[in-house]
Amino acid sequence: DGGITQSPKYLFRKEGQNVTLSCEQNLNHDAMYWYRQDPGQGLRLIYYSQIVNDFQKGDIAEGYSVSREKKESFPLTVTSAQKNPTAFYLCASSGQGDSPLHFGNGTRLTVT
Amino acid sequence: KQEVTQIPAALSVPEGENLVLNCSFTDSAIYNLQWFRQDPGKGLTSLLLIQSSQREQTSGRLNASLDKSSGRSTLYIAASQPGDSATYLCAVRPWGQNFVFGPGTRLSVLP
């Protein structure tokens, strides 16, 4: 079955450490996205990529970095510069134009 | 800039009731509108996708309508069940922009 796999499901880190969240899709989608979800807030776009080797900042990119070396993979690194990294992170992908958006099951990151 | 709102923010109904969730958007220049369901601690599951040229889509007990001119969409759930309890989000895909999400409606269906 095609889908999006995010790993790990839960991640715990100490403050000051960088951490990388994995996102892999086998839907052959060109576009991939990273969102952050906090309690009581809607989804906020961190980074997106429309094609391999290219990506753009979303609304809240500060303190995050991404890479898109392969079509199926879009890892997100939460750096020590991110002031409030504890959140639920969601990866998504879509085809071109009017295609629907598909989501992974998310990674819950806790930084103490 | 496109904005999406959802009313009500939360809804509690007895099992078996038919219900309507509302989604409003400010700019009618969209490719499509998508309804999602999110269970606690989980990702978003796509329920229905309505293209801009369509007026409605149906899947089982769910029916979604789209009125671009008024900037509104409704999600109708027939004969609600406790398993329908979740947060429901709508998202629009504006021309030349990324998806824009509403804040969601938290639904509780009481047995």
A4-30 pLDDT per residue, tens? 999 999 999 999 999 999 999 999 999
| B-chain residues near A33 (CB < 8 A) | 98-99
What per-residue confidence (pLDDT) applies to A9? 95
Q: Which residue has the higher pLDDT, B101 or A42?
A: B101
DSSP state of B60: T
Across all residues in chain A, what is the average pLDDT?
94
d(CA B30, CA A3): 25
* Distance in Å, alpha carbon of A53 to nearest chain B alpha carbon: 19
pLDDT in tens, B79-106: 999 999 999 999 999 888 889 999 999 9
B22-58: pLDDT as tens digits: 999 999 999 999 999 999 999 999 999 999 999 999 9
Interface probe for B, chosen from A56, A57, A103 (most Cβ of B below 10 Å), is: A103
**Res. A97: pLDDT tops 80:** no
Decide if A70 contacts A52 (C-beta within 8 A): yes
Q: Which residues of A touch B (CB under 8 A)?
A: 4, 6, 33, 41-43, 45, 48, 58, 88, 90, 92, 94, 97-98, 100-106, 108
Q: Give the best residue of A98, A99, A107, A108 to mutate against chain B (max B CB count within 10 A).
A: A98
Q: Are the beta carbons of B83 and B35 closer than 8 angstroms?
A: no
Contact A46, A64 (CB under 8 A): yes
Place of tokens 């992170």: A89
Say how many CB pairs under 8 Å bridge A and B.
Answer: 48
User: What gap in Å lies between CA B62 and CA B102, rounded to an integer?
Assistant: 19
Q: Does residue B77 contact residue B30 with C-beta atoms inside 8 Å?
A: no
A41: exposed, middle or buried (C-beta count within 10 Å: 0-12, 13-18, 19+)? exposed
